[in-house]
Amino acid sequence: MYARNVSIHLKPNMLSDYTRTFEKDVLPLLRKQNGFKDEIAFSGPGGTDVTAISLWDNKANAEAYNNNIYPDVVKTLAGVMDGTPKVQSGEVVNSTIHQATA
């Protein structure tokens, strides 16, 4: 399993707009992607920093999403973000979802 970790800094008071946009516009795109398994997003205190972790069946499918769909996702969220998201990715070394889907 492979994970993408996206750190997003939101404009003030935009957490509910982010959540609404993510659920309405981004999540349906993710669900259509080959190899997409799950998405976990959480906000820090104050609701201006969000971490979104997507889980994928393998690196190739995660990279295909990153190269083909993710640029559109960034455009979709541009109105609520402050700056450019930071993306990290890597192999999952431990996960209960990994065990549940194995």
CATH number of the domain to which 28 belongs: 3.30.70.100
* 22-39: pLDDT as tens digits: 999 999 999 999 999 999
Confidence of residue 99 (pLDDT cuts 50, 70, 90): low
What are the E-state strand segments in the chain? 2-9, 36-43, 49-56, 86-91
The count of domains in the chain is 1
- The helix or strand, by DSSP H or E, that contains position 29, with its residue range, turns out to be helix 27-31
Contact 57, 37 (CB under 8 A): yes
DSSP character at residue 83:
S
Given a contact cutoff of 8 angstroms between Cβ atoms, the answer to whether 82 and 9 are in contact is yes
pTM of the entire structure? 0.88
Q: Measured between alpha carbons, how far is residue 43 from residues 15, 40, 52 in Å? A: 8, 10, 9
Across the range 33-51, mean pLDDT stands at: 94
Q: What is the reported pLDDT for 101?
A: 54
Predicted local confidence at residue 32, as pLDDT: 96
Q: What is the pLDDT of residues 71-85, one digit of tens each?
A: 999 999 999 999 999
Higher local confidence (pLDDT), 45 or 100: 45
Which residue range(s) make up the domain with 18?
Answer: 2-101
